[in-house]
Amino acid sequence: MRTLLTKVLLFLALTLMGTQLYANPKVGNGVGNDNGGPKQSWQDIYRNPNLKPEFPSHIVEEREIAYNHLCLVGERIRTKYKYVVRLNFTKIVYDYLYTDRIRFEERCLEWNGDTCVSYETVEIEIPLQQDIEVFKREPSSPTYNSQWSLAFEKTFELKECPDQAKFPKAE
């Protein structure tokens, strides 16, 4: 009986601590006492439910891929994860998606009905590093309808791609 009571009390204490951590963004001051600021690692930012980085997307093989899901292979950009590239009745084929870091695309300047009558060539460059805005949850907002405000910016740098195959994370 005493063991059961101890377990119940421990469960309640851990639940209360977890609720406070989730509801109060000031819990955990980050690295170097910067109050959870840009000195934190990206892993710490990802794990913190009160912080939300806003990564831009880039087009890779006609799909929008978040900047943090890209990596470098020499001078080319590749996805970190494998995506479905072919699908038929018996087989699903996964592979990485690739694009050039600097490429040129033609875009329509003027339409005449359904026909483009004037084009321009645009240079598209995926930067090797980019400042990312990180937002924090306002402590007064409920978790189901959170209000977010800009907390800080942190530089994200594209790394060399890992060799082992990875599949997209469920998000």
Q: Where are the domains of the chain?
A: 2-157
Q: What is the pLDDT of residue 168?
A: 57
Q: What is the pLDDT of residue 24?
A: 45
- Tens of pLDDT along the chain (171 residues)? 556 555 544 554 545 444 444 444 443 444 444 566 888 899 999 998 889 999 999 999 989 999 999 999 988 999 999 998 888 888 888 889 999 999 998 999 999 999 999 999 999 999 999 999 999 988 876 666 778 899 999 999 999 998 765 555 554
What is this structure's pTM?
0.67
Tell me if 2 sits within 8 A of 27, measured CB to CB: no
